[in-house]
């Protein structure tokens, strides 16, 4: 197995497992090989890598997305630690609009999450000193940076942390509810 790809509860969101060669030293893995991804129909042209480090358990980052014309597809993986990862479908004409999918990602599993454009993305750290790396297929644009509130009751996300213990940025704490957003993705 070079690459194993499977859909989550929202079919366009994919969990990707790459092979690891394990020995007494640890492991080696090819985490992204364009031709292997293309063989599975994944043909994103990634243009930027982003990395975030979170010190404490219960750090929530998100739910973020970029509006057109700077929409981003993302390929997310955990370099150290573990996260509860969440995606929310914002494609208004989609049968899964407003629905979410969740998955746990960790350094030990090595799995990656492919999030297409038109989705909000966020995560909660489950271990201290968690580092997340994600590839994106469009550069960051502050003017197009958007989000929805992580605790939006309409989304009904079963976050693994009590709301009063969450660590959030001021920006993320002030994000609007889904019902307050205009239609961004048809």
Beta-carbon contacts of 180 under 8 Å, excluding residues fewer than 6 positions away, are none
Cα three-residue angle 56-61-64, rounded to 5 degrees: 175
Active site residue 123: no
Distance of CA 33 to the CA centre of its chain: 19
Beta strand 26-29 with 119-125 is unpaired
Beta-carbon contacts of 48 under 8 Å, excluding residues fewer than 6 positions away, are 135, 136, 138, 139, 140
In the set 44, 64, 121, 123, the catalytic residue is 64
Active site residue 92: no
Exposure b/e, 109-140, CB count within 10 A at least 16 = b = ebbbbbbbbbbbbbbbbbeeebbbbbbbbbee
Structure tokens at 110: 């090595």
In the set 32, 44, 123, 134, the catalytic residue is 134
Smallest CA-to-CA distance from 76 within 46, 96, 55 is with: 46
- Residue 145 to residue 118: CA distance in whole angstroms: 13
Give the residue numbers marked as catalytic: 64, 134
């Amino acid at each position: 197995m070079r690459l194993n790809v499977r859909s989550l509860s929202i079919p366009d969101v994919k969990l990707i497992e790459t092979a690891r060669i394990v020995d007494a030293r640890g492991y080696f893995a090819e985490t992204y090989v364009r031709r292997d991804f293309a063989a599975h129909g994944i043909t994103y042209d990634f243009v930027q890598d982003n990395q975030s480090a979170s010190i404490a358990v219960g750090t929530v980052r998100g739910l973020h997305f970029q509006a057109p014309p700077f929409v981003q597809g993302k390929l997310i993986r955990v370099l150290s630690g573990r996260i509860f990862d969440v995606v929310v479908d914002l494609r208004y004409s989609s049968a899964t609009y407003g629905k979410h999918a969740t998955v746990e990602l960790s350094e030990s599993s090595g799995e990656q999450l492919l999030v297409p454009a038109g989705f909000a993305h966020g995560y909660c750290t489950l271990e201290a000193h968690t580092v997340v790396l994600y590839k994106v297929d469009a550069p960051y644009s502050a003017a197009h940076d958007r989000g929805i509130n992580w605790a939006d009751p309409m989304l009904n996300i079963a976050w693994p942390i009590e709301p009063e213990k969450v660590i959030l940025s001021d920006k993320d704490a002030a994000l609007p509810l889904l019902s307050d957003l205009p239609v961004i993705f048809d």
